[in-house]
Structure formats: C-alpha cells, structure tokens
Amino acid sequence: MHFGVLTSVTDQGIGPVELGVALEERGFESVFLAEHTHIPVEHVSSYPGGGPIPDRYYRSLDPFVALTAAAVATQRLVVGTGIALIPERDPIITAKEVASLDLLSQGRFRFGVGVGWLREEVANHGVDPAVRGRVADERLRAMIEIWTQEKPAFHGQFADFDPIYCWPKPMTTPYPPLYVGGGPASFRRIARLKAGWIAISPSPELLAGPLEELRAIAGDVPVTVCQWGEATAKVLEGYLPLGVERVLLELPTEPRDQTLRYLDRLAAEVALSG
C-alpha cells in the first residue's frame, strides 16, 4: 500500500516544484491535485460541508501545469489528478495534455476523473449539468480513441470529429491508468471503463461496504482512498486488509514553511503505519 497526498496548489501556497521535491524526499509515493476552473460568485457561500467555499477552490493552478512542474523536478513521484472534471474539458485538448504529461513524467501520471458536484460551474462551460455523467462517459471514450488509434475519429452528441492526427500518444500503453472518482453511482462507469476507483472516506470501516459493492460489479479494481479526516497510524493500518492500492492524505494549502512542517508530521504517521 502506497501513501501520497491530495491537495490544491494555489498562487498563495507552496509551489508545485518545492512540494514535489519535499514529498519525494520524505518518501511519499504520489501527489494528486484537485481541479476547479472557477467558482461562481453567487455560490462561494454555499459549500456542501457548510460555510463558505475555501478560496483554494478558485485559486488553484491548472492541475496539468502544476503536475508537470512537480514531475520534471522529481524522479520517482507519481503525479495524478484528483480529480479532473471531464464535463468542463474539451476531449481533444485534454487527450493531448494527458499524453504530454505521461511522456514528460516518464509514465508516472495517473488520470483521476469525475463529473463535478457544482452544477453551476459545469453550466458555465456550456454543459447541461443534468447530463454531465453522459458527457463525461462520451468524452472519455473519445479520448481513449485518440490515445489508441493512429487516425482516431468519434461521432457522438458531446464529442464529434472526423479522423484526426493527434500526437504524442501516451508513453504508458494503452494509456495512463484511469481512476473514476465518486460514490456507488460511479461503479458501473468504473466497470465499463475498466478503471480504478478514487474513493473519499473518513475511515476504513466506512469504506468496507462500498468497496465490497464495487468489487461485485467491477471485479478487483485498483482503489485509491482519499483519507478525509485524521490520519493516525491506527486509521491507516485499517486500510491494509481492504487491499487498497494507495491512501491519499489530505494536505492543507499553506505557504512553504507550514507545508513542510505538516509533511514532516504526516511522514511520521506513515512510517508508524508501516
């Protein structure tokens, strides 16, 4: 079982290069970055967990740019999106970004995807939020065609193009590992795509039931868990018998010195968990 962090890199916190180097020096396996292109002003005060939406949601750097910076500054660090919001993304441009980052990282990229929870954010990209799941499914299929075919073509409602040349192809064949974020509603999408799952859970006990349901639908897929809440050694050890591939620890978005001290504390917990 590997340990990484999930965070947002903003213009006010530690930069992606220093963060990547610090993680690799401390023995973390990976860094996954969240994505929000923007937050509509009228919804800044309506965070689902209560209170205002944290400013990291609308100050975050583009994850592909930030992950590229972290990747080229490190040698072993796995870099991933946690998660890229597919209904907000052009499939041809995103396919090129994924393949480019996979190449520049020498195969260390993991593509975490999802449909997005803030309907108004999705709508500002010209997509009806009511069908964002269908949009994501179709655009992901179009991207797979681009990655795996020399002259890909795709004709659908939400992605439509005649044969094109689009290079580079991913270094990882047939394409970088794909992970779908979300709850049980995403399990059939995971099965269709033969993807992994990015789960959010406060504890191993609460993950066990959904994980059993997923495996009944999609088989023994790779699972990355975002540990939301206190990450003690005891909590982390609880994921071992569940057979998860990776646990991502929540890393607050803070300036350099505060971040490095926080990483030192997380590294100590990870070492205790074995």
pLDDT tens-place string over residues 20-33: 999 999 999 999 99
Mean pLDDT for the stretch of residues 158-175: 98
Collapsed DSSP state (helix, strand, coil) of residue 205: helix
Would you state the pLDDT for residue 172? 98
Would you state the pLDDT for residue 237? 92
* Whole-Å CA distances, 237 to 1, 3, 115: 10, 11, 31
Instruction: Count CB neighbours of 191 within 10 A.
Output: 15
**Measured between alpha carbons, how far is 136 from 109 in angstroms, rounded to an integer?**
20
Domains of the chain: 2-273 (3.20.20.30)
- 105 DSSP β-pair partners: none
Tell me the average pLDDT of the chain. 95
Residue 60 near residue 38 (C-beta atoms within 8 A)? no
pLDDT tens-place string over residues 37-87: 999 998 787 666 667 889 999 999 999 999 999 999 999 999 999 999 999
Which residues make Cβ contacts (< 8 Å) with residue 39, sequence separation at least 6?
53, 57, 58, 118, 121
Instruction: Count CB neighbours of 70 within 10 A.
Output: 24
- 246 DSSP β-pair partners: 2, 224
Whether the predicted pLDDT of 224 surpasses 70:
yes
273: confidence class by pLDDT, cuts 50, 70, 90 = low
